[in-house]
């Protein structure tokens, strides 16, 4: 059972984390095995489940701090032969997740209510993939240590952990904003969302009286964010006692101390350094091999605000350098935009990335009809080499125009889960749809009418 108590205001509290509000259901594409596997291949690391297309072996995934587990449930529905385990300290999260899994008949997912510290006493699950989203920067230092210990104990040799968190220096100018909102909220009444709203309006009024550390630019940024994210998200982000954005060097160092090896960023915008770093920055980094120093330097170059990174537990199998491109060509991809909305330039921290070329158009045109392998696209594109296709795919991935998925699996019952997701609602329960190629992310606040959008369903492999 979670170590819950009532704080000084009389409200439920879980070791400094608000305990009287459920975190909104969320799916994060960067934690999907297909996404992680593609990135591992680029670094010559064999994915935990292999690279055999439909022959991928069954695997185990652990989600630490899973919330209600709905994102994990969507992944579990795509891999009925695999095992999925989620842990979270909030009883209401686990109750909701279990009820949804039972309603949908998803039997290969287990959700457990426990604190991170208490989970250390449990038998390790021998996970191939571990997901940790947002947790590190929202919990106490003691809980951060417990999370990294949990990863090290539960991850199989050759397994990978993907960790997302708020980072510095990007949050530096918002540290004062969070502290003011937290302190103001303690005297407010109502639900966490209502307390946040009251604190937010009071903070705005205080800043307008003349506050050099918190200005109108902070509220303009927050106002725009509030148009895109659920209201219940904000108290979870801003009203936690231990909220603390982290330096990547500290996280990488703490992970290394647990025997984990930093591999790379899992963020598409950080796919290739020649895409997001200027030449002078790359040259300055050329002599830095230490991951702690290198990643900190990059964060300072980019003024990074968020990180999602992949760590591997040695020993892991390596892929011969001469085989990497061939295996990448076997990978399936899905378009994230309709062909007539595709863009062939992207703004990056290094400038404008331009890829208006035959290979990029060949990829977008083919994926309009549904997911396909890069090998199939290259074979049909007479005027493009395989290298052209791979390079164009990198640019399109960086620009969020395409994403890696699995080969189709006719055994996936996508219709049932998607009907539940949209059933009787204006908006989807969660920002995801299940497809024969696995779960895919859609926009936050997506309307349920997406299931009537035939062209969009076609490129997801859901038409017909």
- Smallest Cα–Cα separation from 183: which of 202, 169, 166? 202
Identify whether the C-beta of residue 192 lies closer than 8 Å to the C-beta of residue 210: no
CA distance 12 to 21: 9
463: tokens are 């038409």
Q: Which residue has the tokens 């608000």?
A: 18
User: Where do the domains of the chain lie?
Assistant: 4-169+245-312, 172-238, 321-405, 414-459
Sheet holding 109-113, edge to edge: 109-113, 83-88, 60-64, 127-133, 155-166, 306-312, 261-265
Residue-level pLDDT, tens digit, the chain, 464 residues: 344 444 445 556 677 777 777 888 899 999 999 999 999 999 999 999 987 555 589 999 999 999 999 999 999 999 999 999 999 999 999 999 999 999 999 999 999 999 999 999 999 999 999 999 999 999 999 999 999 999 999 999 999 999 999 999 999 989 999 999 999 999 999 999 999 999 999 999 999 999 999 999 999 999 999 988 889 899 999 999 999 999 999 999 999 999 999 999 999 999 999 999 999 999 999 999 999 999 999 999 999 999 999 999 999 999 999 999 999 999 999 999 999 999 999 999 999 999 999 999 999 999 999 999 999 999 999 999 999 999 999 999 999 999 999 999 988 999 999 999 998 777 788 999 999 999 999 987 788 889 889 989 999 999 76
Q: Which helix (H) or strand (E) holds 280?
A: helix 279-285
The CATH architecture one would assign to domain 4-169+245-312 is 3-Layer(aba) Sandwich (3.40)
Q: What is the pLDDT of residue 15?
A: 76
pLDDT given at position 423: 86
Contact between residue 131 and residue 159 where contact means Cβ atoms under 8 Å apart: no
Give the pLDDT confidence score for residue 2 in this predicted structure: 40
Fold that domain 321-405 belongs to in CATH: Outer Surface Protein A; domain 3 (3.90.930)
Taking the C-alpha atoms of residue 107 and residue 129, their distance in angstroms, rounded to an integer, is: 19
DSSP class of 323: G
- pTM given for the model: 0.94
Mind giving me the DSSP string for 5-29? Answer: EE-TTS-EEETTEE-SSPPPP---G
């Amino acid at each position: 059972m979670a170590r819950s108590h009532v704080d000084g205001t009389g409200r439920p509290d879980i070791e400094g984390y608000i305990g009287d509000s459920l975190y909104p259901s969320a799916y994060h594409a960067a934690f999907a095995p297909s996404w992680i596997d593609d990135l591992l291949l680029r670094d010559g690391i064999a994915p935990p489940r292999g690279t055999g297309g439909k022959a991928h072996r069954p695997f185990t995934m652990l989600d630490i701090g899973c919330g209600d587990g709905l994102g994990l449930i969507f992944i579990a529905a795509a891999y009925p032969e695999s095992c999925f385990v989620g842990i979270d300290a909030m009883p209401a999260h686990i109750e909701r997740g279990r009820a949804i899994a039972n309603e949908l008949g998803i039997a290969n997912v287990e959700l457990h209510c426990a604190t991170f510290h208490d989970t250390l006493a449990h038998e390790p699950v021998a996970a191939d993939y571990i997901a940790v989203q947002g947790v590190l920067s929202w919990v106490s230092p003691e809980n951060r240590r417990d999370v990294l210990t949990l990863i090290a104990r539960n991850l199989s040799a050759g397994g990978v952990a993907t960790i997302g968190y708020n980072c510095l220096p990007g949050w530096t100018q918002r540290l004062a904003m969070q502290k003011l909102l937290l302190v103001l909220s303690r005297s407010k009444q109502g639900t966490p969302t209502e307390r946040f709203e009251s604190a937010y309006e009071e903070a705005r009024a205080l800043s307008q009286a003349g506050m050099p550390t918190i200005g109108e630019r902070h509220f303009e940024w927050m106002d725009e964010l509030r148009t895109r994210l659920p209201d219940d998200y904000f108290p979870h982000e801003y009203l936690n006692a231990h909220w603390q954005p982290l330096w990547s060097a500290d996280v990488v160092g703490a992970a290394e101390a647990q025997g984990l090896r930093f591999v790379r960023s899992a963020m598409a915008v950080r796919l290739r350094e020649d895409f997001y770093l200027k030449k002078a920055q790359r040259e300055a980094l050329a002599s830095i091999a230490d991951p702690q120093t290198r990643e900190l330097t990059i964060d300072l170059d980019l003024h990074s605000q968020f990180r999602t990174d992949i760590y591997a537990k040695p020993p892991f199998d390596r892929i011969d350098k001469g085989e990497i491109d061939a295996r990448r060509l076997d990978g399936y991809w899905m378009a994230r935009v309709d062909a007539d909305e595709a863009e062939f330039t992207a703004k990056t921290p290094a400038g404008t990335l331009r890829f208006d070329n035959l290979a990029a158009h060949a990829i977008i045109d083919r994926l309009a009809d549904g997911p396909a392998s890069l090998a199939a696209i290259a074979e049909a594109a007479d005027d493009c080499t395989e290298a052209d296709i791979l390079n164009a795919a990198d640019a399109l991935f960086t620009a969020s125009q395409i994403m890696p998925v699995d080969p189709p699996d006719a055994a996936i019952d996508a219709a049932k889960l998607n009907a539940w997701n949209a059933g009787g609602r204006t908006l989807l329960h969660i920002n995801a749809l299940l497809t024969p190629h696995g779960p895919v992310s859609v926009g936050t606040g997506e309307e349920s009418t997406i299931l009537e959008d035939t062209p969009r369903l076609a490129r997801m492999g859901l038409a017909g």
